[in-house]
Amino acid sequence: MSENTATALATLSPSLKAAVLAEALPYIRRFHGKTIVVKYGGNAMTDENLQRGFAHDVVLLKLVGLNPVVVHGGGPQIDAALKRLGKQGTFVQGMRVTDAETMEVVEWVLGGQVQQDIVTMINSFGGKAVGLTGKDGALITARKLLMADRENPGKELDIGFVGDIVRVDAAVVKALQDDQFIPVISPIGVGEDDGMAYNINADVVAGKMAEVLGAEKLVMMTNTPGVLDKEGNLLTGLTASRIDELFEDGTISGGMLPKISSALAAARNGVNTVHIVDGRVEHCLLLEILTDQGVGTMIRSA
């Protein structure tokens, strides 16, 4: 066991350490060399203990032979920065309305403050993280997203500098993985025609990144136990047809719409399993990936 691995394990509680050591070996064998895309967001990004736990999990996954790729959000941090400017964040169908001033804030917060905090935290625990935005290496090419107006069928809503992904060129990500780095990606794309920066929903970026990289798993961290039914009960396993039903009856709505839509698209396009996990549970990545204990909802294409 390497010194860094021992250090990472030493920070875990005794009970969790024992569970990981007892159960992890078959999972490590199964997923060795595989890519795991993690959408990092919610409380796990704002609670100091959860931040440290996430960094430990990512470093440990890398040290035992998996290839984690982190795609992060930053909604609360963007809202706080906007508030300091006297602006109020608004959303349409889970997407942030992004005018030019808001886009400047998004770039500064996501591509600067938040990304560097994550990179620094991972590196402080023995990892080798490198921050990227969609502008780096033409990673994410985008175009303006026009959303269907649900109240006026046939019409579209312009919500500003919000992007729809045209393509992902993951060459720079693969190069970093080959050199044993952990990519940390901010969800900002570059316009295909205008070269402008576009704010892209982090769940959408994570889902598309998982597809392009041929990831074994896509793990999306949330502030809920997973996908809940209308009575608030956790749905531990979902198929594509069941998700369509939950969209139709309104069970899945608001901010969960882009998350579950992206999860479903990833599952239908080659990602083996997609997990919606409770990021408020300490070391949820280890629990989900390296033990028998699940902490959320697993989605399969069929």
Residue-level pLDDT at 2: 46
Provide the pLDDT for residue 250. 79
Q: Is position 43 annotated in a ligand binding site?
A: no
Residue 127: per-residue pLDDT: 94
Cα→Cα distances 190→77, 107, 137, 153, 263, Å:
22, 12, 11, 29, 23
Q: What is the dihedral of CA 237, 240, 241, 246, to 10 degrees?
A: 70
pLDDT at 21: 67
pLDDT at site 3: 52
Please classify residue 9 by burial: count the beta carbons closer than 10 Å to its beta carbon, then call 0-12 exposed, 13-18 middle and 19+ buried.
middle
Rounded distance between C-alpha atoms, residue 207 and residue 219, angstroms: 9
CA distance 227 to 154: 30
What CATH number should be reported for the domain holding residue 47? 3.40.1160.10
pLDDT at 293: 67
Sign of CA dihedral 24, 30, 32, 33: negative
Low-confidence ranges of the chain (pLDDT < 50): 1-2, 5
Q: Cα separations (Å) of 195 from 108, 271, 274, 297, 302?
A: 17, 30, 32, 38, 39
Identity of residue 160: G
Structure tokens at 251: 């069970």
Write down the pLDDT at residue 1.
45
How far, in Å, are 73, 122, 129, 187, 239 from residue 77 at the CA level? 9, 19, 21, 14, 33
Label each residue of the chain as H, E or C. Answer: CCHHHHHHHHCCCHHHHHHHHHHHHHHHHHHCCCEEEEEECHHHHCCHHHHHHHHHHHHHHHHCCCEEEEEECCHHHHHHHHHHCCCCCCEECCEECECHHHHHHHHHHHHHHHHHHHHHHHHHCCCCEEEEECCHHHCEEEEEEEEECCCCCCCEEEEEEEEEEEEECCHHHHHHHHCCCEEEEECEEEECCCCCEEECCHHHHHHHHHHHHCCCEEEEEECCCCCECCCCCECCEECHHHHHHHHHCCCCCCCHHHHHHHHHHHHHCCCCEEEEEECCCCCHHHHHHHCCCCCEEEECCC
- CA-CA-CA-CA torsion for 169, 175, 177, 183, nearest 10 degrees? -60
- In this structure, the number of other CB atoms found within 10 A of the CB of residue 179 comes to 9
Quote the CA–CA distance of 227 and 233 in Å, as a whole number: 8
Domain extent at residue 288: 3-299
Residue 75, annotated as binding a ligand: yes
Q: How many structural domains does the chain have? A: 1
Distances (CA, A) of 117 to 47, 48, 78, 123, 264: 13, 11, 14, 10, 30
